[in-house]
Chains A and B, each alone.
Chain A
């Protein structure tokens, strides 16, 4: 999560900006932890202690924790989280399996790009929820429509980023490859593919977030199981603490998976790490 605190253009070089930019990785984590604690305490104060907001609509952290424990001890959480996890992972795997090869093909061949590109952008621009009724008609009421929505939400950021990465390969590096006698295949493997890697991971990070949205949307409407079903059921019975607990878990999953993608990127593509001088 330290990326949230990474130094930007640092316009003006203010005191606190400079201080934040100079922090070590551990220091950044501490600042973030402090931020979370302060927010939770304020939240607890405003809703739980001072009672400015009705806790039924906006439960305090302590109540959400209680809700989490109820969900956990009743076994509801484990059952539904597993269903969601299965749907998410399957859908995401399908998105990766389609997105990467098709993206590479689009980046390589202009005709493919011209044909697939507009279709991809059109589907990508359509709100996920619009596909929900269709998904149910096509895949029934089980895990099928959830997998479909996860996959269709995640595939386009991967596909379009990979294609863009291929196309924006630095022409001067391509020229260098040509001068040193690279064959077409060598250029592809040693120049185009590696330069696409950072784009792929940027696409994967977007895909994680969109896949999670797709999953919850699919489960919210007419699904008997999954985290989305837990959320809607709890909210409909005014157990907002449980609803919030379920939402929090989904958020933790989403943020956690983007971090996993970043870790994999650092391992696969160490050159993208910030220069340390």
Chain B
């Protein structure tokens, strides 16, 4: 599993799975009648099988960005193409893992994972039970099939969220700060597991985070967002070997270099955001 990811030279290759072209999203603010620009002029190409982390301070529009790709929010201008087709709404080629898990409290682990197939009416035949069971095993939840979400820890609930997302075998996994609500220790364990899982399944991932370490440890590329309005500040290739177990990478000069660089970039952003409030 020790594959070295070469930094890609061509920015806008033809083979990109996700193409974002001059994307702008603005909202009408109730009462004031003003327009709030969430993101402005965003361009991005993501190759098939690439792990892209999106890093930025709170309120920089990175979640809005993800919601447009998920098909939950319509672009005000510009467009998003997935496999060459414009996104008009949610689709089975994209699945989302939410920060607050968004599990159905009245369903067991098994039935929550099944939900990912059920809503797409993919329960025909008999194979779906095996697929659900496989997804549960893949995230390490065997034996908890009949537990309710409230009986599980936060980390385990997010595993259910992950299983629900991968069960329908989407090409693209959209993860909105999936480890943001998990305790620090569990976060480290799950970060390594997510890296392993993605390497094994070869999914294309867009991973939203506000943690610099997380962005470096997971991403092939890091997209740094700035706020007011939300836009891409820079895109960085990490160029680090996988798997990136944390101990070995902490002393890697490239890791330190990236961390310092991102730290400076984000600190400027955070200060700007605080002043403009």
Interface set of A (CB-CB < 8 Å, partner B): 170, 172-173, 175-182, 186, 190-191, 194-195, 197, 269-271, 275-277
Contact = CB atoms under 8 A, between A and B. Distances in A.
A269 B150 CA distance: 13
Nearest to B117: A180
Interface of B: 70-72, 90-92, 94-96, 98, 100, 102-107, 115-116, 118-120, 148, 150-151, 164, 168
Contacts of A178: 72, 90
9 contacts: A179-B71, A179-B90, A179-B95, A180-B116, A186-B118, A190-B115, A271-B106, A275-B150, A275-B151
A175 B72 contact: yes
Contact of B150 (A175, A186, A271): A271
Given A179-B72, A179-B95, A271-B105, 14 more contacts: A173-B102, A175-B98, A176-B98, A179-B96, A180-B116, A180-B120, A181-B92, A181-B119, A186-B119, A190-B115, A194-B106, A271-B150, A275-B148, A276-B151
A191 B118 CA distance: 13
Given A172-B98, A175-B72, A175-B98, A181 B120 contact: yes
Contacts of B104: 173, 176, 190-191, 194
Contacts of A275: 148, 150-151
A172 B67 CA distance: 13
A24 to B, nearest CB: 19
A182 B94 CA distance: 14
A45 B270 CA distance: 72
B72 A197 contact: no
Contacts of B168: 180
A181 B90 contact: yes
Nearest to B150: A275
Contacts of A194: 104, 106
A162 to B, nearest CB: 16
Contacts of B116: 180
Nearest to B115: A180
A195 B106 contact: yes
Contacts of B107: 271
Contacts of A186: 118-119
A190 B102 contact: no
A113 to B, nearest CB: 20
Contacts of A180: 90, 95, 115-116, 119-120, 164, 168
A186 B105 CA distance: 17
Given A173-B104, A180-B90, A271-B106, A190 B119 contact: yes
Contact of A181 (B91, B105, B150): B91
Highest count of chain A CB atoms <10 Å: which of B100, B104, B118, B148? B104
A202 to B, nearest CB: 15
Contacts of B164: 180
B98 A277 contact: no
Contacts of B91: 181
Closest A-B pairs by Cβ, 5 of them: A176-B102, A180-B119, A182-B119, A194-B106, A172-B102
Nearest to B92: A181
A179 B102 CA distance: 11
A179 B106 contact: no
Contacts of B98: 172, 175-176
A210 to B, nearest CB: 27
A117 B104 CA distance: 28
A108 B118 CA distance: 23
A277 to B, nearest CB: 7
Nearest to A191: B104
A259 to B, nearest CB: 22
B149 to A, nearest CB: 8
Contacts of A191: 104
Contacts of B96: 176, 179
A195 B164 CA distance: 19
A197 B104 CA distance: 13
B104 to A, nearest CB: 6
A177 B107 CA distance: 13
A271 B148 CA distance: 7
A197 B90 contact: no
Contact of B100 (A172, A182, A190, A270): A172
Nearest to B116: A180
B102 A175 contact: yes
